[in-house]
Each structure stands twice: as C-alpha cells, then as structure tokens.
C-alpha cells in the first residue's frame, strides 16, 4: 500500500503597476510603460510532493527553489509558515475535517529522517550559496543563520500579521536570496492511504527603519532674521524630512531657498540641491537607520534684487546681460504681473513660473506685436473664465478657452492618484511664485487664435502665442528638437533620472499642475505644457511628465483641455 503526501507552495505575489505613458495625453495611439515595482518579490518553483511514501517508511519530497528579492534599500526578511486562512492548522490531512489520520508537525529539531516519529513531517532548507547537493550539514531548520542540521516543524499561519514564522532570510540590502526547500515525512504501518495536504507560505517583508535626526536652519551670513527654529531629535520611518514653510528675511536681499550643502564661501549660490520652504528632503539611504543621530543642515541662500523693474516685452534689451544661471524678475506690461525668468543651460531665457495672464475682451489690453507674441492684431473671442464651465466639444476645442484657478501654488506633494484636485494639491502662494499654477489654456488660446481648426498638419509650427512680445511658446514634435524646444532643454539639463527627471526642481521649476477640463485632474501627479506645434486636428505637441518618472518632451496633448504655458525668449 503506497501513500502520497502533497504540500502546496504558496507564493508571495509581486504586483505589477502600470505607469501610464502619458496620463495627460489624449490621442488615438498611446505609448505604454509598465514599472515592476514590488516591495518584496518571491518566486517558488513548484509544489512539494512525496510520490511514494510506503507504510512504516520515511522519505524526502522533491526539492523546490525559493527566490526572494526587494527594491527596499534596507533589505527584507523572508518568513515561512504552514496553514491558511481556511485550513488554519499545521498537520497534513486527507481532508480538513479529518483530524484523526494526520501527519503531525514536528515539535523539535530532528537531524535524520530515520529519527522521525510515526506520522510526523517537517521542513528543511539550504542556501544555494552552500553545497546543498553533496553536503547534508547545510540542510537546516530554524531562523536565518541557524546551524540546526535536519528538520523541524513550521509555525502556524497567522492571519493578522503573516510574519510570525521561521525567518529563512534576513538581509540588509535588496540583494536576491535563493534557497532550496524540502519536506520529509514518516508513515506508520497502519496509516490510512490517501493524499495528505496543507499549504506552506513564503512571506517577504520590506524593512522599516527609524532614523533620528536634528534639523538645523543656518544662515552663514549671520544677517538673516526670522529663521525657522531648529528641531532636535526628530524621527522618521521613511527618511522624509519636512522643510519649514517659513522663509527668513535679510535686508537688501531676497531669500532663494535652503541649500543642503554648506555655502559659506558664497551664500548666493548652492553647491548642492536647493529646497524651497515647505518642500521635503530625503535623508540619504546610507544614513537612514544608522543608529546615530543624523544632522540635516539647511543653509540659507540669497540673491540681490533686480536693480529696477524690467519688462518682459523688453527682453531683447536686457536679455543679453544675463549669464547662465542668472534669475531675475520681470513684469508683463499687459497686466503688470511679475514673473521669474532665468537663463538656463540650453542658452535660452525661460520663464521659471507658469503664465498667469487673463485674456480679456473688454479692450483694456491690446493684443498686437507690441504686447503679445502675434504678428498682427488679435481680438479674442473669449475671455478667461473663473467658472468651471469648459467646452470640450469640437467647437470648444478650436475656439480659445482659458481658466483662472486663483492665486494657487502646487504644494510640492507628489501623488500617485490621478484624481488629485486643486483643493488638496495646492496652497495659497507666498512670496515665492515658482510653483504658481497660473492659468490653464486650451491650445487655441495658447496660440492666440479664435479658430485653430485649419491647423491639422503634423509638425506645423504656428509660431505665435499668448506669450508676451519677445517671447514664444517652445517648439516640440518629431522634427522640432532645436534650440527653442522642450527636447533640447531636457537634454541640456540632463533631466533623465528621478521623479520625472526632477523637472520640478531648480532651475526650471516645472509644476505638477495637472490639467483642466471643467475641473482639475492630476495636480501633484503630472504636468503638461503647450508647444506651438500641431500634432493633429485634435492635438498639439507639448511637454508631458508624471510622478511615476515619465518624462516626454514630444507628447501629444488634447486640444480639448487646458494645460499650462511656459514661454521662452525668442
């Protein structure tokens, strides 16, 4: 009479998260990205089977391989338990209700199969970095690092924590762990024949580390006032440090932001990374959970204010005085709103905040070549609205539409949820306007037209815009990658890593402002900026980026919706 024992290996599942190729794109063909982003991934090769366990004999199962890995910088733990939420016991049974004819889980370490008591079973494992095939001393039971040669019983499945099991691996890095795993069993002479089963679980858990830090705000000039109070002995479990929303002041200077590197030799520059008030700083992974207190020092940076008020429309006069890295404030003479502008690494002068011009139809603003980026006078057919009414029909798409959400700034928080709205993705702006949401414009309004329906040929550069005179919309598209293009800017700034290439940081400050279609979408999750180039009758090229790291300077944005505008000097 032969008996078979089967134990099913339960695999920890690593989820696949689909990163949309362009969460702001509306077109007939959409690129796709899939980001494999598990906390801990586990792979098990198959089930554990003892095919012929004869009465009065003992036998091993086949050997399976368990592989675990993680993207957690601090490593992970790999546990194993037996049982499940429906069959929560440690025996091997023919049926879940038959508690008489069972194989009982070992209660202590047993070195050899021949030493098993009748009708008992146990597990054993071996790290593949050892000689598992020829040296049985590497087959052990117990927690990671155990030298208890042989077999033992697994702890019972715990529905509340899933982790109170044998710890098979305990790492301090994301590196992969591979081990071999088997079970052994011994039958009595009178055991009832049948297939005995249960479920073994392999559970991976990423590590959470607590880091203690001191947050210090330092002005190396000793002339600043109103510095935020330093915070000693703070703790974080994810490495995130929230920078104070308070900006200090200094006579004769403007506060630029906090630098994470000592700038005592020149407090007007930051040799590291600049953080605006209210942003977040992440403690380097190597320092997290180190056991010692980490000093997070933030150094104030300052700039001299512009000597006089400069007009955006006069950029051809004062633009040549700027060196790469210089940032100043200039005024749009159409409405006297101020904008930060800077000469960037691509050699061009860019606005470093979003356009906030309200299109008017009452004649108070003249839209001609002296004020606006148009070659002849434009009389807008629709004014900027502050209501949520937005026409996404074919007619609405080809007539100018724009929306003013108010004096709001993106609050700097990144959000994977594309349903983020203006109300929880923004805050009232202070003195620093870099992250001002500005106005949303459909493409027809962005290119300063009353009817854009005749522009349908792909890669056509309309070459006019709602930008101030002397400025233009950037170019984009498959044949437009030159000096005034989003593509060239991205290349010159090497925006190729991190969240959307860190495009939200200094010196460009592109905003995760989402888009508008009668309500807001994606604030904190993505951003889109118009170019002057046609994609199709329903779309135009632009810059598109998302919180999942997607960054595409040649995306197609739907003309039906409102996106942001950044202008570059001609």
What CATH number does the domain containing 273 carry? 3.10.20
Q: How many residues does the chain have?
A: 570
User: Is residue 382 assigned to a domain?
Assistant: yes
Among 168, 184, 185, 150, CA closest to 81: 168
Does residue 228 share a domain with residue 132? no
- Same domain for 377 and 229? no
Q: What residues does 400 pair with on adjacent strands?
A: none
What mean pLDDT is predicted for residues 493-499?
A: 73
Q: Which of 303, 318, 334 is the last residue of a domain?
A: 303
Tell me if 340 is assigned to some domain.
no
| Residue that has been written with the tokens 């979408």 in this structure | 521
Supply 546's token pair: 């998302």
pLDDT of residue 13: 27
For 50-70, how does the pLDDT look when each residue is reduced to its tens digit (9 = 90+)?
Answer: 988 999 999 999 999 999 998
Residue 393 and residue 262 share a domain: no
Q: What is the mean pLDDT of residues 418-442?
A: 87
Can you spell out the DSSP letters for 113-169?
GGGPPTTEEEEEEEETTS-TTT-GGG-EESSTT--EESBBPPPBP-TTTS--SEEEE
Residues 197 and 271 reside in one and the same domain: no
**Full domain range(s) for residue 239:** 211-303
Q: Is residue 329 part of a domain?
A: no
Question: Tokens at residue 167, please?
Answer: 């710890």
* pLDDT of 250: 93
Q: Is residue 215 part of a domain?
A: yes
The dihedrals phi and psi of 547, each to the nearest 5 degrees, come to -65, -20
User: Band of the pLDDT at 26, cuts 50, 70, 90?
Assistant: very low
- Beta strand 440-441 with 177-186 is unpaired
Q: Which pLDDT value is given to residue 163?
A: 55
Of 35-44, 86-95, 230-239, 240-249, the poorest mean pLDDT is in 35-44
User: What SS3 state is found at 75?
Assistant: coil
Give 430's contacts (C-beta < 8 A, 6+ positions apart).
245, 247, 277, 409
> Both 188 and 43 in a single domain?
yes
Q: Average the pLDDT over 125-136 and give the result.
A: 95
Q: Give yes or no for residue 32 having a pLDDT over 90.
A: no
Same structural domain, 484 and 510: yes
What span, in angstroms and rounded, lies between the C-alpha atoms of 509 and 472?
Answer: 18
| Co-location of 22 and 118 in the same domain | yes
Residue (of 123, 137, 92) closest to 202 by Cα position: 123
Q: Examine the fold and report which residue of 160, 182, 206 is the final residue of a domain before the chain moves on.
A: 206
Within a domain: residue 339?
no
Residue 233 has pLDDT above 90, yes or no: yes
Predicted pLDDT at 88: 87
Neighbouring-strand partners of residue 81: 201
**Same structural domain, 388 and 268:** no
Confidence band of 278 (pLDDT split at 50, 70, 90) = confident
Check residues 174 and 218 and name the one with the higher pLDDT: 218
Average pLDDT of the residues of the chain:
88
Question: Is there a domain that residue 536 lies in?
Answer: yes
In tens, the pLDDT along 321-365 reads 899 999 999 999 999 899 999 999 999 999 999 999 999 998 999
Highest mean pLDDT among 11-15, 192-196, 411-415: 192-196
**In angstroms, rounded to a whole number, what is the distance separating the alpha carbons of residues 250 and 255?**
7
Decide the pairing of beta strands 3-10 and 195-196: parallel
> How does pLDDT run across 393-410, given as a tens digit for each residue?
988 899 999 999 998 999
> Per-residue pLDDT for 217 more than 70?
yes
> Distance between CA atoms of 259 and 272, rounded to whole angstroms?
6
Pair 287, 429 in one domain: no
Rounded Cα gap, residues 138 and 337, in angstroms: 74
> Are 441 and 513 within one domain?
yes
Task: Report how far apart, in Å, the C-alpha atoms of 261 and of each of 34, 219, 269, 286, 306 are.
Answer: 36, 12, 10, 17, 26
User: Is 195 in the same domain as 226?
Assistant: no
Per-position b or e across 355-366, b if 16+ CB within 10 A of its CB: bbbbbeeeeebe
How far is the C-alpha of 80 from the C-alpha of 60, rounded, in Å? 18
Residues 166-184, mean pLDDT to the nearest whole number: 94
Q: Please state, in angstroms and rounded to a whole number, the distance separating the CA atoms of residues 299 and 219.
A: 6
Predicted confidence band at 37 (pLDDT cuts at 50, 70, 90)?
Answer: very low
Unique residue bearing structure tokens 């994301």: 174
H helices of 349-502, in order, are 394-398, 422-425, 443-446, 486-492
pLDDT bracket for residue 499 (50, 70, 90): low
* pLDDT surpassing 60 at residue 16: no
Q: Report the pLDDT value the prediction gives residue 24, as an integer from 0 to 100.
A: 35
Please tell me which residue, 150 or 46, carries the higher pLDDT value: 150
Q: In which region does residue 285 sit, left (phi positive, over 0), alpha (psi from -120 to 50) or beta (all else)? A: alpha
The distance of Cα 218 from the centroid of its chain, to the nearest Å, equals: 30
Check if the beta carbon of residue 452 is closer than 8 Å to that of residue 443: yes
Provide the token pair at 417. Answer: 């949820």
pLDDT > 90: percent of the chain? 68
Whether 312 maps to a domain, the answer reads: no
Measured distance CA(260)–CA(283) in Å, rounded? 11
In terms of pLDDT, which residue wins out, 361 or 12?
A: 361
Residues 227 and 155 placed together within one structural domain of the fold: no
In a domain, 319, yes or no: no
Residue 107 has pLDDT above 60, yes or no: yes
In terms of DSSP bridges, do strands 120-127 and 102-105 run parallel, antiparallel, or are they unpaired?
parallel
Residues 95 and 198: their CA atoms lie apart, in Å, by: 10
pLDDT in tens, 294-304: 999 999 999 87
Spatial distance between the Cα atoms of 88 and 429, rounded to a whole number of angstroms: 56
Average pLDDT of the residues in 247-259? 91
DSSP conformational letter for 193:
P
Give the model confidence (pLDDT) of 445-465 as tens digits.
999 999 999 999 999 999 999
pLDDT band of residue 7 (cuts 50, 70, 90) is: very low
Question: Per the structure, how many domains does the chain have?
Answer: 3
In this prediction the pTM is 0.50
> Is the Cβ–Cβ distance between 307 and 487 less than 8 Å?
no
In which band, very low, low, confident or very high, does the pLDDT at 440 lie, cut at 50, 70 and 90? very high
Domain final position from 241, 270, 303: 303
């Amino acid at each position: 009479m032969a008996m078979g024992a089967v134990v099913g290996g339960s695999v920890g599942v690593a989820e696949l998260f689909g990163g949309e190729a362009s969460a702001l794109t509306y077109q007939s063909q959409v690129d796709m990205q899939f980001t494999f982003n598990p906390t801990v991934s586990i792979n098990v090769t198959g089930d554990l089977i003892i095919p012929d366990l004869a009465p009065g004999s003992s036998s091993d199962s086949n050997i399976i391989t368990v592989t675990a890995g993680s993207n957690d910088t601090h490593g992970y733990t790999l546990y194993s338990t037996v049982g499940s939420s429906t069959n929560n016991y440690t025996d091997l049974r023919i049926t879940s209700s038959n508690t008489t004819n069972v194989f009982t889980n070992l209660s202590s370490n047993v070195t050899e199969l021949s030493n098993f008591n009748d009708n008992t079973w146990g597990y054993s494992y071996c790290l593949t970095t050892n000689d598992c095939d020829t040296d049985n001393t590497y087959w052990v039971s117990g927690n990671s690092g155990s030298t208890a040669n042989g077999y033992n019983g697994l702890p019972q499945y715990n529905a509340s924590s899933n982790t109170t099991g044998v710890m098979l691996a305990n790492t301090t890095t994301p590196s992969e762990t591979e081990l071999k795993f088997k079970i052994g069993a011994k039958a009595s002479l009178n055991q009832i024949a049948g297939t005995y089963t249960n479920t073994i679980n392999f559970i991976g858990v990423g590590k959470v580390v607590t880091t203690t830090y001191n947050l210090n705000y330092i002005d190396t000039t000793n002339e600043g006032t109103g510095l935020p109070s330093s915070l000693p002995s703070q703790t974080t479990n994810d490495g995130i440090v929230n920078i104070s929303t308070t900006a200090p002041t200094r006579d004769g200077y403007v506060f630029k932001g906090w630098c994470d590197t000592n700038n005592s030799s020149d407090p007007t520059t930051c040799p590291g990374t600049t953080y605006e008030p209210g942003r977040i700083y992440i403690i380097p992974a190597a320092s997290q959970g180190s056991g010692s207190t980490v000093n997070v020092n933030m150094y104030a940076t300052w700039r001299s204010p512009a000597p006089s008020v400069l007009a955006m429309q006069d950029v051809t006069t004062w633009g040549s005085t700027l060196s790469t890295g210089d940032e100043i404030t200039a005024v749009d003479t159409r409405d006297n709103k101020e904008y930060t502008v800077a000469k960037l690494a691509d050699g061009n002068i860019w606005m470093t905040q979003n356009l906030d011009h309200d299109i008017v139809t009452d004649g108070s603003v003249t839209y001609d070549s002296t004020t606006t980026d148009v070659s002849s006078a434009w009389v807008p057919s629709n004014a900027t609205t502050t209501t949520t009414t937005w026409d996404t029909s074919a007619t609405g798409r080809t007539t100018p539409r724009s929306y003013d959400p108010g004096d709001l700034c993106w609050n700097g928080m990144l959000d994977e949820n594309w349903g983020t709205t203006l109300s929880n993705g923004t805050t009232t702006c202070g003195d620093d306007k870099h992250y001002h949401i500005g106005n949303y414009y459909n493409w027809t309004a962005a290119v300063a037209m009353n009817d854009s329906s005749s522009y349908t040929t792909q890669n056509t550069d309309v070459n006019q815009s709602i930008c101030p005179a002397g400025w233009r919309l950037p170019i984009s598209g498959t044949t437009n990658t030159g000096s005034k293009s989003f593509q060239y800017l991205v290349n010159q700034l090497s925006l190729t890593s991190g969240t959307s290439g860190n495009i939200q940081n200094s010196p460009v400050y592109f905003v995760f402002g989402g888009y508008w279609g009668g309500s807001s979408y994606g604030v904190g999750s993505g951003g889109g900026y118009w170019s002057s180039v046609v994609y199709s009758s329903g779309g135009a090229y632009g810059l598109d980026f998302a919180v999942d790291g997607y960054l595409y300077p040649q995306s197609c944005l739907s003309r039906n919706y409102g996106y942001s505008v950044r202008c570059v000097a001609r």
